[in-house]
Structure 1
Amino acid sequence: MSNMTTPENGMTPDYSPQPLYPHNRVKRHLTELFRLAVPVVIARIGMLIMSVVDTIVVGNYDSAGLAYLNVAHAPFISLLVTGVGLLTGIMIMTSHAVGRRNYLAAGHVWRACLPYAALLGIGLGTISWHMDWLFVLTEQPADIALHAAALGRILALGLPAALIYTACSFFMEGLQRPLPGMVMMLLANVVNLFLDYSLVNGAFGMPELGASGAAWTSTIIRWLMALSMLAYVLMLKNHALYGLRDGFSGWWRNSREARSVGYASGASQGMETMAFAAMQLFAGRLGVVAAASYGITMTILGLMFMFALGLASATSVRVGIAFGRRDRADMALAGWIGLITTMLVMFGLSLPVYFFPGWIANLFSKDAVVIAGTSGLLVLMPIIFPTDGGQNAAINALRGTGEKWAPTMLHMFSYIFVMIPAGYYLAFVQGLGVTGLFWGIAIASLVAVSGLAIRFKIVSARELPAYP
C-alpha cells in the first residue's frame, strides 16, 4: 500500500512506537521541537527584515512616501494575516495524516487546499484593491489617501501569491520539513534589498519609482516565492508517495475539514489584530511621545514574538502528529513541552531588554523623552514576553488536537473583553498613560495563557476518537 510506505531520504519521520523511558521522550520532543522551530523562526524574522528594509530605503528617499506606504500597509497586513490564519488547517491536517502514516492523505490536503488558497488570495486581494473608502472614513489627509490607495492596489496584486506560498509552506511544515521555506525567505531578502534600492532610487538602470518601487518589489518577490515553492512541492523526489500531481478535482469538498480549522484560526488572528489596533489608537490619543514609545516597544515585542511563533508552529506539528497516531500521552507531552519551552525561551529573551532598556531604546530614537518613556515600558517585558509567547504556543497545541472554536473564544475573551477594557481603564481612568496599555496587554496575555493551558489539560486528558 503506497500510503503506508516509509518516505524517502529528505524527510525525518518520527512516527514509530515511542521510547519507554520518560527522559528519552522529553529529549526527543525537545530535539524535534527546535529542529522544526529554528527554520520557521528564521523565515518569520526574514519577513520582518523585509519590512524593515522597505522602511529604511523609502524613509531615506522620501518621508512623505514612507507615510503613504505605512498607511497602505495597515489594511493590507490585516487582510494578509487573516488569510494566513484561514490556511492554518493545512499544517494541522497534514500533520494528522503524517502521524497515522497516510502520506497520500497528507498530499490530498495540499491538493485540496491549494485552489482554496488561490481563491482566498483573489478575494482578499480584491478587497485590498478597493480600500479607498477606508482612508476616507478614517479621515486621512487627501494626499495620503490618494497615494496610499494607489500603493494598496500594487500590494493587492501580491496577495494571491502570498497565500499560495503560505499553503505550500504550511504543507512542508506539516511534513516536518520547514527548511525550504527558510532558504526561500533568506534568498528573498537578498533580492528584496537589491530591488528595493534599485526601484525606489532608480539605481542600476531601473526606473525611479519612490515608494511605488517598494510596493512593486514586495509584489514581485511574493510571486517569485509562490512560484518557487509551488515548483519545489511538485518536484519533490517522493512526490508520488503523496500523490502531489494527481490533480485538484473536488477540491472544495475535500478541503472542508482544513477550511473548518482555518475559519477558527483566521477569526482568532483577525480579532487579535483588531484588539491591538485599538490599543494603537489609545496610544495615539495619549500624544506623540506616548505613541512613539508604544510603537518602538511593540516593534521589539513583534520581533521577539517571531521566536514564539516558530516554537508554537513546531508545537502544533508535534501535537498533530501524535494526535494522528492516536497517542494521547505523547500528544500531551508534546503540548506541555512546547508551552513550557516557549515561555522559558521568551523569558530568557526578555532579560537583555529588562537590564538594558535605555541602550535598546536609544537604537530607535535620539529623543531623550521618547527614550525615557520606552525604557519605562521595556522593564515590563519579562512579564509580557513569556505570557504572550506562551498563549501562542498553547493555542497552537490546541489546534494540533483538532480543536477549533473553543481556543478562539478564549482568545477573543482575553484580547477583546480583557485587554481593551483593562488597557483603557489603566491608561485613562487610573492615569497610567501608555504604561497602563502594556499592563493591559500583560493581564490579557496572562488570562489567555492560563485559560488555554487549562483547556489543553482538559482536551489532552480525553480519550482520542478512532480513525474515521
Structure 2
Amino acid sequence: MYETKTIKEKIKLFFIIFFPILITQVSLNLMTFFDTVMSGQAGAIDLAGVAIGSSLWVPVFTGINGILLAITPIISQLLGARSYDSLAKKVQQAIYLSMILAIIIIILGGLFINPILNMMNLESEVRFISKYYLISLGLGIIPLFIFNTLRCFMDALGQTRVSMIIILIALPINIILNYLFIFGKFGFPELGGIGAGIATSLTYWLTSILAILIIHKMKPFKEYQVFSAWVKPKTKHWKEQLKIGIPIGFAIFFETSIFAAITLLMSEYNTNTIAAHQAAMSFSSLLYMIPLSVGMALTITVGYEVGAKRLNDAKAYGYIGISGGIFIALLNGMILFLFNDYVASLYNSDPDVIALTVQFISFAIVYQLADAFGAPIQGALRGYKDVNMTLIIALVSYWGIGLPTGWLLANFTSLEPFGYWVGIIVGLSTGAGALLVRLRYVQKKYDKQQNPSVD
C-alpha cells in the first residue's frame, strides 16, 4: 500500500489490489463449483448430496472467515499509521485464534451433522453423500483457516497477487484430485460426491503450506518475521480481533445462511428441483465473488487511508469501489441472460433439471444487482472498523424481511420454490439501501471527529 494523490492514481491502485483478489476469490469458489459440476456428472444423487453439504458448510465457513477477515482492517490501519512493530505479533495471535476456531467447528460438526441431516426430508443416498462430503471437508478446516489468516495479512500489505498465485497453483490440482477421487481413475477409489470433499480438503493443506513458505522466505513478508520469536497466546489480542470479527462474521453468516435455510426449506421438493436450485445458486455465487472482491479491496484501501487520517481519500476509494461493483453487476446480468442455457447444462445433462435451472437463473440476474451494491459498502464500512450496525442490518433485512417474504410467496402463491428467490431479492435490496445510509453516517462522523466545525 502507498499514498495516492489523484483520482487516476487511486483507480489504478484500487484495481491493482482488486483484480488479484477477484481471481483468488473466483478460484476459491471454483473449487466448490467444480465439486458441484463434477459430482453432477457422476449423477443427480451425487449432485444433490454435494449441494446439501455445500449449503450447510458455506454459511459456517463464511461466517467464521468473517472473524478471520478482521485482521485485514487491523493491519491496514496499522500500516497507514506506520505502526510496523506490532504487525508480527498481531498475525501470530490471529493464527492461534484461527486454529481454535477450526477445532470448535470440527467438534460442533461432529455433534450436529447427523441431527441436522436427519431433520431434512432427504433420500437416504443423498443424506449419506452429504454427511461424508462434510466429514471429508472437515479434515482440511485447520489449514484452511490458517491460510485465510495469512492471506488477510498478505492482502493488507497490498500484496494481493501473492495469494492469487497460490490459489492459481492449487485450483488445477484440486480439479485433478476431483477427477481421481470422484470417478476412481488411475487406481483411486470411486467415491462420487464424497471424493470431491477429500480432494478439496487436500487442496486446503496445499494452500496453507505454500502460504507459510512464502511468508517465511520471500520479500517483503519475511521482513516482518511473522514466524520468528513466537509470542504466547494472549486473549487480549483475540478480544481485539473478535470485537471486530464477530460482527463481521455474523453479518456474513446471516446473509449466506439465508441461502442455506432456503435450501433446507426446499428439501420438501423433489431431487431435480433441489439440484436445479443449487446449480443456479452455485453459478450466481461464483458471480458474487466480484462484488465481494470489491468489498475486500475497499477494506484494505479505506482502512489504510483511515489509519493515515486521510478521510477524503477514504471516501474517494469508497465511491470508486461502489461504482465499479454496480457496473460489473450489469455486465454479469447480461452474461446470465444471454447464456443461461449453457450455464445450466454445465451442471447436469437431464433436460428437466436444465429447464428448472434456467428459471432459477432468471431470478439470480436480479438479486446479484443488489449484492453488487451492498457488498462493496460492507467492505468500506469494515475499513472504518464499523461493523456492529452492519450486523443488525443483515439480521433484519435477510432474516426479518427476506426469508419470511420468501416463505409466504413459496407457500401461498403460484411461485412455489421460486418464491424463495423473490424473498432473497427483497432482503438483499433492503440491506443494500440501509448499508448506504450507514456509510454516509460513518463518513460524516469521522469528518466531525477530524474537523469539529464540519456540520
Give the alignment's TM-score, normalised by structure 2. 0.88
Aligned-partner Cα distance in 1 for 2:367–2:130: 33
Q: CA deviation at 1:289?
A: 6.2
User: Which amino acid counterpart does residue 398 of structure 1 have in structure 2?
Assistant: L
Aligned-partner Cα distance in 1 for 2:217–2:24: 21
Aligned to 1:103: 84
User: Which amino acid counterpart does residue 105 of structure 2 have in structure 1?
Assistant: L
Which of 132, 138, 152 is equivalent to 2:120? Answer: 138
Q: CA deviation at 1:291?
A: 4.3
Aligned to 1:252: 235
Aligned-partner Cα distance in 2 for 1:126–1:176: 35
Q: CA deviation at 1:438?
A: 2.9
C-alpha distance 236-246 of structure 1, shift in aligned 2 (>3 A)? farther
C-alpha distance 384-85 of structure 1, shift in aligned 2 (>3 A)? same
Q: CA deviation at 1:296?
A: 3.5
C-alpha distance 349-436 of structure 1, shift in aligned 2 (>3 A)? same
Q: CA deviation at 1:166?
A: 0.4
Contact 2:40/2:347 (<8 A) preserved: no
- Structure 1 unaligned regions, length at least 5: 1-12
Aligned to 1:398: 381
Aligned-partner Cα distance in 2 for 1:177–1:456: 27
Aligned to 1:3: none
Counterpart check, 1:158 vs 2:140: yes
Counterpart check, 1:294 vs 2:277: yes
Which of 166, 172, 180 is equivalent to 2:162? Answer: 180
Q: CA deviation at 1:274?
A: 2.4
Q: CA deviation at 1:256?
A: 2.1
Counterpart check, 1:441 vs 2:429: no
Q: CA deviation at 1:123?
A: 1.4
User: Which amino acid counterpart does residue 37 of structure 1 have in structure 2?
Assistant: F
- Structure 2 unaligned regions, length at least 5: 451-455
Q: CA deviation at 1:222?
A: 0.9
Aligned-partner Cα distance in 2 for 1:371–1:153: 29
Contact 2:410/2:419 (<8 A) preserved: yes
Aligned to 2:174: 192
Contact 1:315/1:338 (<8 A) preserved: yes
Which of 258, 261, 271 is equivalent to 2:254? Answer: 271
Counterpart check, 1:216 vs 2:198: yes
Contact 1:39/1:179 (<8 A) preserved: yes
User: What secondary structure is seen at the aligned counterpart in 2 of 1:190?
Assistant: helix
157-166 or 186-195, larger mean C-alpha shift? 186-195
- How many residues end up aligned between the 2 structures? 447
User: What secondary structure is seen at the aligned counterpart in 2 of 1:112?
Assistant: helix
Counterpart check, 1:43 vs 2:31: no
Counterpart check, 1:319 vs 2:302: yes
392-401 or 287-296, larger mean C-alpha shift? 287-296
Aligned-partner Cα distance in 1 for 2:201–2:354: 35
Contact 1:108/1:242 (<8 A) preserved: no
Which of 150, 164, 181 is equivalent to 1:168? Answer: 150
Root mean square deviation, CA, Å? 2.7
C-alpha distance 450-461 of structure 1, shift in aligned 2 (>3 A)? same
Aligned-partner Cα distance in 2 for 1:64–1:457: 48
Q: CA deviation at 1:90?
A: 0.9
Counterpart check, 1:228 vs 2:218: no
Aligned to 1:8: none
Aligned-partner Cα distance in 2 for 1:371–1:207: 29
Which of 331, 337, 341 is equivalent to 1:354? Answer: 337
Contact 1:426/1:433 (<8 A) preserved: yes
Q: CA deviation at 1:447?
A: 1.3
Q: CA deviation at 1:161?
A: 0.9
Q: CA deviation at 1:406?
A: 0.5
456-465 or 197-206, larger mean C-alpha shift? 197-206
Aligned to 1:81: 62
Q: CA deviation at 1:417?
A: 1.0
Aligned-partner Cα distance in 2 for 1:148–1:352: 31
Which of 73, 80, 94 is equivalent to 1:92? Answer: 73
Aligned-partner Cα distance in 2 for 1:218–1:303: 17
Deviation sequence 1:309-343 (CA, Å, 0-9, x none): 11111011111111111111111121122112111
User: Which amino acid counterpart does residue 98 of structure 2 have in structure 1?
Assistant: A
Aligned-partner Cα distance in 2 for 1:191–1:423: 39
Aligned-partner Cα distance in 2 for 1:56–1:360: 11
Aligned-partner Cα distance in 1 for 2:221–2:350: 56
C-alpha distance 230-98 of structure 1, shift in aligned 2 (>3 A)? same
The sequence identity of aligned pairs, in percent, is 21
Aligned-partner Cα distance in 2 for 1:413–1:61: 40
C-alpha distance 221-39 of structure 1, shift in aligned 2 (>3 A)? same
Aligned to 1:6: none
Which of 333, 347, 372 is equivalent to 2:316? Answer: 333
Contact 2:71/2:94 (<8 A) preserved: yes
For residues 25-36 of structure 1, the aligned pairs below 5 Å read: 25=7, 27-36=8-17
Aligned to 2:453: none
Contact 2:120/2:264 (<8 A) preserved: no
Contact 1:87/1:167 (<8 A) preserved: yes
User: What secondary structure is seen at the aligned counterpart in 1 of 2:209?
Assistant: helix
Deviation sequence 1:281-312 (CA, Å, 0-9, x none): 44444666654553333223211101111111
C-alpha distance 381-125 of structure 1, shift in aligned 2 (>3 A)? closer
Give the alignment's TM-score, normalised by structure 1. 0.86
Contact 1:104/1:241 (<8 A) preserved: no
